[in-house]
Structure 1
């Protein structure tokens, strides 16, 4: 932005983007609630029931880099509006696929929805760059707090709309997603977001990508965000399968555990920004990873519903601290002319790894079991904690003049 935004403008942007995040998250929650159930009724093989959700995650991973550069070329508000304009018809195609019982069309629609989600995942960067510097961590945490509403709203909408289309259970849920996309377009149109940095002819282009990625201030938060997201996805996806098929708990108990996990992922955002201001982003992210280690330890201590609930709550809070802390660190590390490249690489690494974790979670559950997955999470989280500590030590050292 040419001029620093006023506090009123900053608060307006945060509120509108938090609402957009809540609506976008509701669509994702609808997919997670009924995607596999919908596919199970029309898949050529029951083993393919999770393929549409996998297609969405792959679309998300592949769409991160194009989405980043699109947002920087068109401007964030118009870029988010374009994503909503693509998501709405894609959701309607998913509903049509359910009516026609066309499994492969359903998968294709989910893939397109995933590519649009890649744009909305970057709302947190838009919030951080569109507020006064002192409000960056607050902006990120409040926008992420919109996910609390999504955790409750999405599953409720999918349940309420289940029988709206006669003969096609769950089809109406995807029509609701299309409506949500249209409403989101209207909300984003009211924002006044920071324009993407467009250097003039002859202006500095920023450091080369290889230099950026070898800079601890950039590499460390990328690793922190990646490990936080990957471990959260790995454990979250495996947990309901382990509860129902390995431990004999009911699907309702598994759904309850996941719902509380989603709430735990986003509810701490109300205070995460204040915590970062008080103790710093490095320590906040490290505490998040310690909580993920705590999740694994609780999971190893027992297989009751209470153990799963507590483990998944710790996992959600740990992801929140680890991901928001790392994102805050990253937004403080690059120059304006470097934003598009750094954000694109960060998103590609984070969500590409998330896709691999999601796809591999069920396979690992079958090969090594629930408790072994949690054992695997402990050293990975510990390595990321050590890396964050090294990054903080490096930051505190006197830097040579450029």
Structure 2
């Protein structure tokens, strides 16, 4: 394949994966916009309003290992199409649960949806593994840029479909999730992704899990990604409930704040890859964690709608820089034969911590309040910044040592 043909092939795949990311992101945006509000009307206790979202995240966390295994066993395209096939009945079940007001069934449906979402989280790795090393950061950021459409369409679709089924507010939104999942199958069917690595018998299988976790270039990006995602989840899940039930703002304002948050999560992806190429993934991720600290400070400053909007926009941009920076660092830390192992461990850590944050979000909002939740974000983000600084210094020291040895 010529260089020009290879570039055209890569561009086509990245474009399709960006569309797929928009579809998957729209589904998650719908859930994040309305699931807690939907559950509040069904749950036996207000403190359990975030439980369905938590069940989705638990499903995502538990599904990451099997998702990585199936994608590498079945091939990327087939694995992603399987995810769409699983998400369709999950959306339908969630809608039925709302109609019959079954809180338990609703939690179960979102758990299944989370399992399907675990596959979609691998889209960024599919993009990174399909391009030259120098283009990994840009490929990841362009695919993540598909989430901008999710920021627009997800909350809008949830608002638009709110009253489509009389007597069951928000029920139709979950049918929209099923329809989008069907559309994702069509999109993935048109991709021609790089084949997954299938080692031959007797071929090196790479480092074992314990060896990988002891390598700073592996575990630091994993920890930073986990901190970034869990802090984003902690604040984002609590925000709609805090706006509506604590601060008395209308539900439309909460949906609007989440919409701007999701747009802020993905819109910077247009330039994140270029920023990483210019200043490095470590500094980019550190800037992201600094912006999350800025989110906490904005939330601590006031509880007006503008304060919520500003905090959630800073949170979104911070997540983008932190997560894409950490992902880019991670994709450069392993060999091809280690890809499935590293990616599976990373997803389990990231989304396991995300599940803990989601579980704690509703409980902490009820027990210690919105301001205290944001105050908790500051020390954790600072730990992530310190780890990135340590990794950077370690890399510089290693480069100096190699230079001296060559001299």
Which bin holds the TM-score, normalised by the shorter protein?
A: over 0.9
Q: Deviations over 1:83-102 (max 9, x none)?
A: 11111122222223333433
Q: Secondary structure at the match of 2:146?
A: helix
- Paired with 2:15 and 2:63, the residues of 1 have a C-alpha distance of 26
Give the aligned partner of residue 374 of structure 2: 374
Structure 1: gaps (5+ residues): none
- Paired with 1:277 and 1:39, the residues of 2 have a C-alpha distance of 43
Give the aligned partner of residue 156 of structure 2: 156
Give the aligned partner of residue 320 of structure 1: 320
Work out whether residues 33 and 258 of structure 2, in 8 Å CA contact, stay in contact via their aligned partners in 1: no
- Which piece of structure 1 moves more, 164-173 or 333-342? 164-173
Give the aligned partner of residue 358 of structure 2: 358
Measured after TM superposition, the shift of residue 172 of structure 1 is: 2.3
- Paired with 2:245 and 2:160, the residues of 1 have a C-alpha distance of 27
- Paired with 1:381 and 1:102, the residues of 2 have a C-alpha distance of 38
Equivalences for residues 198-213 of structure 1 within 5 A: 198-213=198-213
- Paired with 1:356 and 1:212, the residues of 2 have a C-alpha distance of 24
Give the aligned partner of residue 78 of structure 1: 78
Give the aligned partner of residue 112 of structure 1: 112
Equivalences for residues 2-401 of structure 1 within 5 A: 6-45=6-45, 47-396=47-396, 397-398=398-399
Q: Deviations over 1:192-232 (max 9, x none)?
A: 11111111111111011111111111111101111111111
Q: Deviations over 1:342-398 (max 9, x none)?
A: 001100000010011011012222332222222221121111111101111222214
- Paired with 2:247 and 2:299, the residues of 1 have a C-alpha distance of 12
Count of residue pairs brought into register by the alignment? 400
Work out whether residues 126 and 193 of structure 1, in 8 Å CA contact, stay in contact via their aligned partners in 2: yes
Question: Aligned in 2, Cα 1:302/1:172: closer, same or farther, shift over 3 Å?
Answer: closer
Measured after TM superposition, the shift of residue 166 of structure 1 is: 4.1
Measured after TM superposition, the shift of residue 44 of structure 1 is: 4.7
Point out 4+ residue stretches in structure 1 off by more than 6 angstroms. none
Q: Deviations over 1:105-150 (max 9, x none)?
A: 2222211111000111111111111123222111111111111111
- Paired with 1:212 and 1:5, the residues of 2 have a C-alpha distance of 36
Question: Aligned in 2, Cα 1:44/1:233: closer, same or farther, shift over 3 Å?
Answer: closer
Work out whether residues 39 and 52 of structure 1, in 8 Å CA contact, stay in contact via their aligned partners in 2: yes
Work out whether residues 47 and 366 of structure 2, in 8 Å CA contact, stay in contact via their aligned partners in 1: no
Measured after TM superposition, the shift of residue 322 of structure 1 is: 0.3
Q: Secondary structure at the match of 1:264?
A: helix
| TM-score (ref. length: structure 2) | 0.92
Q: Deviations over 1:138-175 (max 9, x none)?
A: 11111111111111111222222233334443332222
Question: Aligned in 2, Cα 1:300/1:102: closer, same or farther, shift over 3 Å?
Answer: closer
Q: Secondary structure at the match of 2:38?
A: helix
Q: Secondary structure at the match of 1:286?
A: helix
Question: Aligned in 2, Cα 1:179/1:245: closer, same or farther, shift over 3 Å?
Answer: closer
Work out whether residues 81 and 188 of structure 2, in 8 Å CA contact, stay in contact via their aligned partners in 1: yes
- Paired with 2:192 and 2:103, the residues of 1 have a C-alpha distance of 40
Question: Aligned in 2, Cα 1:168/1:302: closer, same or farther, shift over 3 Å?
Answer: closer
Question: Aligned in 2, Cα 1:4/1:225: closer, same or farther, shift over 3 Å?
Answer: farther
- Paired with 1:109 and 1:58, the residues of 2 have a C-alpha distance of 12
- Paired with 1:90 and 1:30, the residues of 2 have a C-alpha distance of 14
